[in-house]
Amino acid sequence: MARTSAQPPNQTLTKMRGSTVGRIEAALTQAIAAGELAPGERIDEVTLTERFGVSRTPVREALSRLVAQGLLIPGEKRGVRVADYTREQLAQIFEAMHEIEAACARVATQRLSLLARVEIEAAQAECIAAAKAGDRAAYLKANEAFHLTIYRVTGNPYMAEIASEFRNRTGAARAKKFATPEDLLASAQSHEDLIALIFSEDSEAASDGMRAHMAQSFRATLAAN
């Protein structure tokens, strides 16, 4: 009789649960990074179970993971809420962001390929379209995608992971700075200057440009929070 390669039921269930937890974790991470969940906002387990059509077990596991990552913090009555940083904490996080973002811009410039140029231009086109439409939600997502593209272009997944983590942590706070259509357009235009530096193949200029870009972002974030 031929041997079957079917996995034991308990192993299959474990994989399914892991996939569900990962899906919930990814969705919440994106929502926080895009500013869809505000700093200090309470996360309701019941709402999540209804949204994803699951029990509370995978929801609680996903929330625990996000607490461990610093995106969520324990709240009252065993609940959790989106991390709400003090000005000093934001300053410390942005200080680290300045360095890793500048490093990503420098390495991306050194390893720039034709495909990378096209990907960066495509990501910027999404930003421009959302900004011109005055679509805040679409711009927040496009802006995150723009920076993630630069991280990916480095060809270094470890740098990309660290940079992404900082963006995730500060997403809710940074989203507040985009209060008007003019804010969206100004941000999209600042990308143009940054892209020009990256495409110039001058890695140090690109690094300095990203540092200046992040400094402006920090000032605007502090003013909005």
Note the pLDDT tens digit of each residue in 81-122. 998 889 999 999 999 999 999 999 999 999 999 999 999 999
Nearest to 210 by CA among 113, 119, 98, 122: 98
Query: Do 200 and 98 share a domain, yes or no?
Result: yes
Contact by Cβ (8 Å): 124, 191: yes
Query: Do 113 and 199 share a domain, yes or no?
Result: yes
Query: Do 72 and 100 share a domain, yes or no?
Result: no
Burial track 61-75 (b if 16+ CB lie within 10 A, e otherwise): bbbebbeeeebbeee
Is residue 36 one of the residues assigned to a domain?
Answer: yes
pTM exceeds cut of 0.85: no
Domain CATH number, residue 52: 1.10.10.10
> Model confidence at 17, in pLDDT bands (50, 70, 90)?
low
Q: How far is CA 116 from CA 5, 62, 93, 119, 213, in A?
A: 41, 33, 28, 5, 20
Query: Do 58 and 100 share a domain, yes or no?
Result: no
Please give the mean pLDDT across all residues of the chain: 89
Query: Do 96 and 187 share a domain, yes or no?
Result: yes
Structural domain of residue 55, as residue ranges? 9-82
Query: Do 59 and 150 share a domain, yes or no?
Result: no
User: How far from chain centre, in Å, is Cα 92?
Assistant: 18
